[in-house]
Every structure is written in structure tokens, then in C-alpha cells.
Chains A and B, each alone.
Chain A
């Protein structure tokens, strides 16, 4: 393969297989990059994008397949340092920058210019070199700025400069705009085009279809660990990309999961013009008794923030909340006492205490109802309630003394739900209910939510798993950049429709 004639391909991966001692994450994936192109890599969560990138950058090793980079075979035993030497750079959000150091120090970390013949860093020269690079690309930075005081967007440009100083010929950007403002994103796109003009290849990973559409020369679509298609030129349209990403035909079951209009029922919760600086913008909706209201949107669209504000974890700036007809200003204690339940997204961090038994975890949210007036906890009552939760939710093993940290992901989730279940639950908030849960446990979780809604509990579900969202919800609200951009109220809603809305491709929506 390696000959003197430079092919126009910078990177050529063929038949890449990867499994992490279990499920196949990538199977027979081909992926090639031309010199000086902007190439988007898209796919749903779990499609295998990050694994592919990790293999290319040597963070993990492939099980099979060949990789040729710039005419050189890349061995299976690839590693991060080797890939850097080849000229492959990953632009992390801010991961690889050192706080407390200047822009110049960060750019030249480990390769600082030294004084001639001495082991001492020539700081003047280093700053001058950095300033020269900054000016060449017209960035809004100073070489002597301290990283900590720069906004995220500027830190990203430092990352890019660092890669440039490494003479990178391939730059991989993973969701680079997820925390940038529109203006900042525009500037990043300009930089990316500049890099392209310099002959640098850029791999662009994003969920934002309009960006992909705007920027890319070519698009590789992955689905379930397999290569679906490579689009080029005219073929690249947001709608087509989404169609390819979702791909599968609707199954009987899914297509029959119609939404149910329950808006004639009693209003449990009403949110009016809720706003929180930088997070939420004028969000209004009503939630009804026995209704499952789904919230769709991209990561960072404000869904979790909305739930946290309603539950009383984070404060909001403006707007009002009415609960059961009365004005409600939430705090966590009040929410618990009023019959709210909250199953958070980061289960391990926020939902459970791993080193404590099932009984202990369930007891902690119910201390008020299991304590005597003097404040002593009744162990009998605690156990009784735990047994109820175990049997209704089918928690396995059914041993109240089992440490929650040792349970499977699905059962941990059930314990979190169980904390609230045994109370007089009126409103349940579930954020990403089945992340890290196996398929069997998923279905059980769905049935639990269904049952609760039949019993009259109002449920709000946040999910990035589109089949899950459409499967569970009676109504779906899609958020984008802190606003409600679309509401689906009736008929059959497809994943494609939700994703289009979330990406801003919507009648009357942005762009």
C-alpha cells in the first residue's frame, strides 16, 4: 500500500470491527477521508461514532480491519502518542487545556521553545510564536491570557492552535458547538473553513443537522455500528441524513402507539413563561392527571434544566408554576411533601447511595412517614415499605439488605422509582429512564410508567431515546435552545419528526 505516490485519501479505514468483550459495537465499517475536506460523521447515540474516533486516535484498539493514514499502515497496537505523531488531533471541549496557564503555555505544552543551549524556556519567544499564530488566523486572543478567564469558544480556538502547532493534518471535532452561542458557532465555522483552505482535513461530529448541511463536503452516516451511507454534494440534505440515521421502518407495535389526548382532564401542573438566564426561555405548558408528557430535544436544549427548576433544585428567574390549582414556588422539601417524585438523569450521582441497602435508600426519601413523632425511625415500617416497593417493581434480588451499588442498572433504576412509589405520588419526573439499562428492564420500566399513569399519576419523561419517547408519551413537547419549538398532540408521531423538530427543521421554527 505504501508507495511514493500520495493518494488523495488521507485516511482509509477498511472493515473495522470492534467489540468490548460483548456486543459488537462496530462491524465491518469503512471510513475514508480525503485531503482537505470537511467530513461529517453522524448517527444516533450508540451508533458507534465515538468508538470509531477512538480507534482512529489510538485511545482504543480495533479487533479487525486495516487503517492507512497518509500512506502508512497503522498497526493494531496503535496509541494516542503515535496518532499525535502522525498528525491526528482531537479538539476536546476543554479537556486538554491546563487551567492557570496562559494561552501560549497551553499551545506549546511539552514543546516549549528553549533558550539556545540551555534547558530553560524562552518565555518571550514562546509568547511571540503564539501571538504570531493567533494573528495569522485572526483570533480574538492574547498569548498571555490565562485560560481560566476565557469563554468556552475561545478555549476551543486555543485547542485548535495547539493542534496546529503539532502540525496536525487531521482534526477531529466532537460536538464542538454544543456549548457555543450562535455567533460563536459562526466563527468556529469560519475557522474550520480556514483550516480546510490550509489543506487540513476536519472530521465534524454533530447532532445539529443544519451545521452538518452547511459545512460538510461529505457525510458518513453510521447506524447500529454499521456504515449506512456516504453522502456527497447535492445528496446532503438534513431530511435525508435524518432518514438514514433513523433508517428502520416503523414496526407494527411502534406505529400503533398512538398518542392519547388527555387534555380534557384535571390540570395537575401548569407552567407559565418559565425563564432562567441562559437555560430556559418563556416555557409554558400544562400537565394533566394521568398524562405522560414526553420532552424531546437535543442534549443541552434545556429539558433537564426545566425538570430541575420545577422540582425546586435550581432557581429560575421569571415565570410561575401552579400546582393543583394553587400557586407553587418549588423547593425540594416542598416538592417531596406535595407528592412529587424525581428520578434524575445521573442515577449514580444523584439518585442512589450505592453503599447503602435497598431499605436504606427507600427509607431516606420517606423518613417523614416512617418516623415516630419524636424522630426515631421505625425499622419495621421501613422494612414493610421496602417490601412493598420490591414486590410492586419486581426488584431483583428481592433482598431488602442488598447493597444498591451491587444491583444491575435496571434494578438500581427501580429502586430510585421505588423511593417515590410508596408515597402518595401525584407527579413523577423521569429524566432518561433507561440509560444503561438492559432491554428486559427497559420494558418493565415502561410498564411501570404506564401503570402509574393509569392510576392517575401525571408523568413527565425526558428522553433522548426517540423510540422510547414515542412509545411512552401521550403528548410530546420538543425543546430547542431553552424554548418550546414544537408540540405533538395527536396521531402517530415518528422519530423522524421529533428529530427534525429538535434539529430546528420545522415549519415556523428556526432556519
Chain B
């Protein structure tokens, strides 16, 4: 009996759902996690762009750094009939199937920083490898081509982090072969873990001249550890991204530098791209349209060039 009733109710609601297809445009934002300055800045950038648009709604979900969860959430965006998705894939391979599925249903996907394996609408990315190379150059120059450096890495398989590290190592190998890379460990993108790793670097290496953390959070962690060990002035710490707090620390001289990207701008670019695709102003091509946001080496001397409204 109960079942029969349920079926009737289900059928009724189903027809209701189909009938009430809204004219509203829904855009979903799905970063690896919402708990970071970078993903927050992107969100702000996207929201500011969409704010002026009539009939556009916006929804962000937190994938909590787990690829399986992100795939589930992608499915949910697709099933709920979103019109476009802005995605920061946790893993390039793991999200490819989801992106393919969305595009197959006519939903354009714009990826941020991490590209996926199959073609989709666009990828708005920082130049990870190029920026990593830039950091390498800066550190090498400052050390005079000699010394010990360590790397705080991203989780295995996180393409963006890996690219940054690759660029950095390439600069070292090519320009400063005498600089030794004495350690490299996975900081899981997070500050606490980075403190732990930096502590071990400091204990093992009596002489440590510089550390490259592949994001700012981890650079801040490294700074905390070095400061606690009383060796902050002996170690040059470089981060990546250029979030507001890190820029302030650079001004204070606690962190040496970071590869700054205007994340507001990047988020806005992605949102604009989505709107253009939906309005027909842009056409989707056969290949992923890669939009590169150029990096900028922010140090104590150059940080003033980043205006307050550009800081995130």
C-alpha cells in the first residue's frame, strides 16, 4: 500500500520537475577544498563577475581534498542540470571521466590550474612550471649559486604542485648545478604538516639556505618552524600563489618571496569565459583552450607593486 502511494507521489513530482524547467542559468564551482585563500579568492572573483548578471545562480561545493567526493559532486552538478561548471580537479586523471560526462551532456567545464586528460571547454591556469622556474632563478641568484635547499611538496598526483616543483628543479639543474637539493617531502598543501616537515629539515640539515614550498600555506608553515628554531634569518623561504597573508609576511621580511598570481582575476576570467560560452560569444573548440595567467615574483622590493585590491 505504502509503496503504491509512493509511486503515485513520485510520478506526480517527476512530471512537476520536468515541467518546471527554469530559465535560470546555474553555474557550479567545485574547488579541491574551500578552506584555502586561493580557492576563496577564485570564488570571490567568480562571484563578482556573476553578480551583475540577471538570472544567474551560483553554487560552490567542498570536495574536501578527496577525488572520490569530487566525482560524486560533479555527478550531482550534472544531474541537477547546471549550465556550466568551474572545476579545480584534485587529480587530473581521476576527474577526467567526470569532465567528459559533463561535456557529453553539453555542460562546459572550465578547469582551474589542473587540466584533465581529455579536451574540454577551457583551462584557466597559472603557469605552474614557468613560475616554479622563476622561483628557482630567484633563489639561485640570492644564494649566489651555492648552498642547500629543500622542497615542501604537494600530494602525489597533484599536477599543479608537481609542475611547480618540476619547473623549480629544472632551473636548479640548468642554472645552478652547485646548489644541492637536500630534501623533498609531501606537505599535503597544509600549514601544520609543513611545520612538521620543516622541523625535520632543520634538524637533519645544519646548513639549510632556502626552502621552496609549492604553495603559500606551506611556506607560512615553514616560516613558523624556522622562526621557532631561531633560524629564520638563515633560511630563505619561498612560497607560491601570493595570498594576502603571505604578502604581508613578505613585507615584514619573514618570508622571502612568492610567485604571485592575481587569483581574483583568474576566478573572474573563468567566470567570464563560462558566460561567454553560454551566451554564444565564445565557441567551444576541439581542444581545451588554455588561458595562462602570468606569474609575478613578489619579494620585499617588488611586493608594493601589488595593489591592495589585488591581494587575496
Question: Touch between A and B in complex, CB under 8 Å?
Answer: no
